[in-house]
Chain A
Amino acid sequence: MIGKVPLAPLTALLLLLASCGGSSGGGAGAPAPSGPSFAPESTLAARCATPRTGVDPITSMPYPDRQGTLLDEQNWLASWTNDLYLWYSEVSYGIPASYPTAIDYFNILKTNATTASGKPKDRFHFTYPTATWEALAQSGVQAGFGASWDVVSATPPREVIVAYTEPGSPATNLSPPLLRGALVLGVDGVDINDTTQAGINTINAGLYPASSGESHTFTIQDPGGATRTVAMQSTNVVTTPVQDVGTVGTTTVGYMLFNDHLATAEPALINAITTLKAANITDLVVDIRYNGGGYLAIASELAYMIAGPSATGSQTFDLTQFNGKHPTTDPVTGQPIVPTPFLSTSQGFTTSPPAGTALPYLGLPRVFVLTGPDTCSASEAVINGLRGINVQVIQIGSTTCGKPYGFYPQDNCGTTYFSIQFQGVNAVGFGNYPDGFTPANALSLAGGSTPATLPGCSVLDDFTHALGDPAEARLSAALSYIGGSACPAPSGLAPPGTVRRLSAVDGHVFKPPLLTNRIVRR
């Protein structure tokens, strides 16, 4: 498993951590609780109700903790937020001592504003125990079966579908192998629509094993309609971040499925672009419908390899902007804020090729991206970065997640806090896509064009065809667009779960370990 703490115990650990601080506010004869002190953050950091001792095993540095109080931790959160939170002026800081734990107090230290579509502006505010956050794993290794489940509907009638599989995994070693579009009808003898808590726990535990070596059975309806029960044992599956690279049929259209901005994606993308360049492609379709992001530098490398040196030159790929208190200096690193360029050489995520190796490039004036609600963060940065230098990005699929933001996760007293600190903008200063990027022909459903509207077609996910199959609805629409045909009728804004055809659905691909274990629920 990736995290060091299984999910259910993680909840317990959070509760334990949350209960360690005791109460430092109020009490008989104590002064009335007041707002935060807003003392300098550095004077409050690492003053802990329960200090850690010894050496951090990951950083090899002694823990900085010293004896403090719960109120110290809460006051640090207020000062830290007031200094670094992107929307610090929209926060109601309240009375720290009125919250029983530091995490409870942290949870209110965010904006309550909403986006134009009505979504909370800040959907990215959370914590992890520091030991869990710092834990390392081999790149792309997760305990599982090698099947990524798309949860179209988490509540009855539930729909859990195989979105894609990893080569050489238990899922693909079955005979016949588990294919995209296979429906999960039951787990370990529990019907997928079971409403008891015990049943739900069984389903979640089976879909997302905590470690390698777990045996589970699945009742599956294969894409052809046949039903079977299969047994699989979880292993530490290695994710292949780039798959299905090649030209589509006999065309000069290149295709690649890019699922994760992992470290191992750097050589994989280089190999993919080298292959496609050798094939003399004239258009490229990058399938990032399930790519939630990762290393920003890898996003920059991919954008460079698509656009080439003439278009990218010395242009900005992404510029980090903090709140107005920090216009020129990165307040976390102390370094001047400088743009991330379009990186034209490998950055050493692996040593083959070595850092500094010139990247191959296609030099295309336009690129097609296949998107969905799981297209997020660094994946959206590829879209935004290319748009900033006038490379046309044509979007086929559904609206992306809308996360132009980032943070430096910060430990204090054993909890790592995730609080949005910066926004990324492209070469023309645009980064305002909190509701995601949306294809232009979805306008009849969405009600108007926005700066985050892209040319393209609104198309729901199609589980009746393999990814990379020219007949798959999104790729098919891209090929039609390239051929000069009109988009199919827009479908990509339909609320998840309202469509019951596997050729047109949208859900979320959940890749454990999650912050919450409530993947399917009542």
Chain B
Amino acid sequence: MRVVPNAGGTALALSLLAGCAASQPPQQTPAFLVEPSAQTRTELARAVAAEFGGVQIPLADDALTHSSELVLERGALRDPGGLPANGRELGRPELFHLVLVDGRCVLIHDRTGHRAMLSTARCRAVSP
């Protein structure tokens, strides 16, 4: 797994991933994971955790296998009465997306633009 900061913007990051060979940013296509191995799930978990200082984020075993999107939000903490701690939540979730770039599976953190290549993953483009 390789994390590429978005210092120079999306185009630069894509160029880095593509080996800087193209003058135009390579096409990226929304994708989902195909039969992820335990190794791939671990790589995905590490890529997500890397966005949050290494803090492990609970993910479903089938995360990103049915869609290209991964939605994170605060854990379902409860108040002393067993009800949601914040039943009137005014914030927004964190979103990640999986895309295919030159045959590689790349995870994008929407808020930061950071990209991580999942080197052990197999991806398939989402049907339009």
Contacts and interface: CB of A to CB of B under 8 A. Distances in A.
B8 interface: no
A55 interface: yes
Nearest to B94: A136
A381 interface: yes
Contacts of A262: 73
A351 B69 CA distance: 8
A434 interface: no
Contact of B83 (A139, A292, A407): A292
Contacts of A430: none
Contacts of A345: none
A198 to B, nearest CB: 23
A361 to B, nearest CB: 23
Given A126-B79, A139-B73, A295-B89, A58 B53 contact: yes
A378 B78 contact: no
Nearest to A168: B62
A136 B72 contact: yes
Nearest to A374: B83
Nearest to A58: B52
B72 A137 contact: yes
Given A351-B95, A374-B83, A406-B88, A139 B71 contact: yes
Contact of A264 (B52, B57, B71): B71
Interface stretch (A85-93, A440-448, A491-499, A505-513): A505-513
Interface string B74-106: 111111111111111111111101000000000
A57 B92 contact: no
Interface residues of B, number: 42
A406 B52 CA distance: 27
A424 B88 contact: yes
Contact of B80 (A2, A135, A378, A515): A515
A128 B97 contact: no
A138 B83 contact: no
B58 A139 contact: no
Identify the interface centre among B69, B78, B110: most chain A CB within 10 Å of its CB: B78
B55 interface: yes
Residue among B63, B86, B95 having the largest count of chain A Cβ atoms under 10 Å: B86
B59 interface: yes
Interface in A42-69: 55-58, 60
A352 B127 CA distance: 13
B55 A135 contact: yes
A512 to B, nearest CB: 7
Contacts of A511: 76, 78, 82
B67 interface: yes
A516 to B, nearest CB: 6
Contact of B54 (A57, A132, A143, A516): A57
B3 interface: no
Contact of B93 (A4, A135, A139, A143): A139
B53 A138 contact: no
B58 A141 contact: yes
Interface string A234-273: 0111100000000000000000000001111000000000
Given A2-B76, A295-B89, A403 B83 contact: yes
A406 B88 CA distance: 6
B55 A418 contact: no
A36 interface: no
A513 B58 CA distance: 13
Given A137-B72, A352-B69, A510-B82, A294 B87 contact: yes
A294 B90 CA distance: 9
B60 interface: yes
B128 to A, nearest CB: 12
A309 to B, nearest CB: 24
A123 B81 CA distance: 8
Nearest to B64: A138
A351 B61 contact: no
A401 B90 CA distance: 20
B56 interface: yes
A4 B55 contact: yes
B77 A263 contact: no
Given A138-B72, A293-B88, A126 B55 contact: no
A136 B73 contact: yes
Given A136-B75, A295-B90, A381-B88, 8 more contacts: A3-B75, A126-B85, A132-B77, A135-B75, A136-B72, A137-B59, A142-B58, A515-B79
